[in-house]
Structure 1
Amino acid sequence: MKILLANPRGFCAGVNMAIETLETSLSLFGSPLYVYHEIVHNRPIVERFRAKGVVFVDDISEVPNGGTVLYSAHGVSPRIREHSRDRNLRAIDATCPLVTKVHMEAVKFAKEGYTIVLIGHEGHDEVLGTMGEAPDCMVLVEDEKDVDALQLPAGVKLAFLTQTTLSVDEANVVIAALRRKFPQIVGPNKDDICYATQNRQEAVRELVPEVDVVLVLGSQNSSNSQRLAEIARTLGKRSYLVDRVSELQEDWFRPSDTVLVTAGASAPEDHVQDCVEFLRTKFGATLENRVVREEHVSFPLPKELRVLVRK
């Protein structure tokens, strides 16, 4: 067996920032510390922080008056921020700057009188936050069928935005369908799909022709991790999405397989290495690192924390 270890993989700059924000907040304020939604969509990370006294909530009313709450990397709507202020919460914003960019685009288009078509997955935390920026003038589509069913007034000013963690290929299909149906539609000046999502997808596409099976580290509720597994399946390869080594099954692999190992943008590296070690131990696998693209992006801690850390 041979393992191709994809680079880039795993944590993106937004996830690194969100996790560092939560760790720093714990050291400054102690527990219990509240996070609105999961800090990132990764089960082992959420479990690790729960063990340290972090409480993850899906309703801001679950945070005691005057308490400390972190907004997750996926962002929140203005309504949540308003509720936090009303209840005198200390709010620390760990929203990924690339998600904030989409929120700002939504506000800009809404002020200019556009109806906004958001391409994304219904119910995803990021989608809920983005739609909250302009709920009266935004509609959600997931695929071409949704575009076909879209009924809008003739000549309406129309713009589109995308969830940051989509498959680039799938998003382009939906954008093309929107452009065919609504030739007047405009988009953001720069692609909304984040650099890390695109880079990890690019690595899978480039390396998958050389392999028999693809192993993706990431949680089932992680959109970008799901996309990696889907891309591999679309390209005809066996593909498995797991959180940790204990989920691996030996009969997924043949001794002669070449296995591509990668990880979604919220999956920790220690679980990647555990899976590599499993394949080495069970199948005598050799390891080859493959770098498709280098990443050198980093985001600072939220300003409300940077001030406290400097003190």
Structure 2
Amino acid sequence: MKDTFVLDARGLGYDYYNHRIFTLLSDLESFYELLSDNSLGHADGLLLTQKLSIVNKIYASMQGSIESIKILVYIGRLNDAFALARKYYDAVTTDIYQSILTKKEENSFLEDNKNLKDLWNNSVVRAWTYAQQHLYDSRSHNNKGQVRTYEDINNALKELNDNLFKIITDIKSKERKEICNDNMHYNSWDNFVLNINESFDNKIKIKALDDLFENLQIALCYHFAYIYILHPEYYSSSDYIEALEMGVVLETDSQYWVASIVQVIFDRYIKTYNQELSEFILTYKNMKFE
């Protein structure tokens, strides 16, 4: 940030506007834009919901949430940014859980030769998509007595891949999600102060940016890993298809190349944060990283 007009107008200073949070947020926007685009051509959930690629809208919405966080950080409203970061974390959990349930329900239908009407009547994902049930952690009457909690999510994650669950659990143990919750519910007078630009301690703002960065990075590690396990095809580069369309022959296995933003996310935020997770991803050879 070199725009002295913006620096002077907001009064937040050079260190604030050159914080690494702005690079992370821009990378997250590009990442979810890719996921939205790449998931559009897949029929995941179509059998259950009669909607083409429900995750396309999920990722487009998450991209919008990241854009909102970036705007709030840019204008110095960090209390509001933390509240939206908590929302982003919930979106990550919801997307992972619905992906697991979608695969499970669709596979059950194909393997057991169930009647399609019975599938629809008993589908959690379909009911959630049409606002007839909450996906988890709700005791609403709309759930017809069924209550799916965070324990159910953890059990589903363990069943999917126990090793990854242990790695992610260790990573999440380092998060400070309570900071997001505090700002959501104003659990301290300081939470109000984070939304003020006219009079503040710049060190407090920079420390808040550091905390926000770490919370977003942890949520990203969580999401990145499970998307890779559940839908590695969403990470694919467009180079292979574009080359085929132009009649260009690429090298062997080029269809497994990851998109450039996926490689950027892996290099900047996964490898730098947790070596065990990066090694897990590299050994789980769905796609080709550099």
State the TM-score, normalized to the length of structure 2.
Answer: 0.30
Normalized per residue, the structure richer in strand is 1
Normalized per residue, the structure richer in helix is 2
Determine which structure has greater relative contact order: mean sequence separation of CA pairs < 8 Å that are 6+ residues apart, divided by chain length: 1
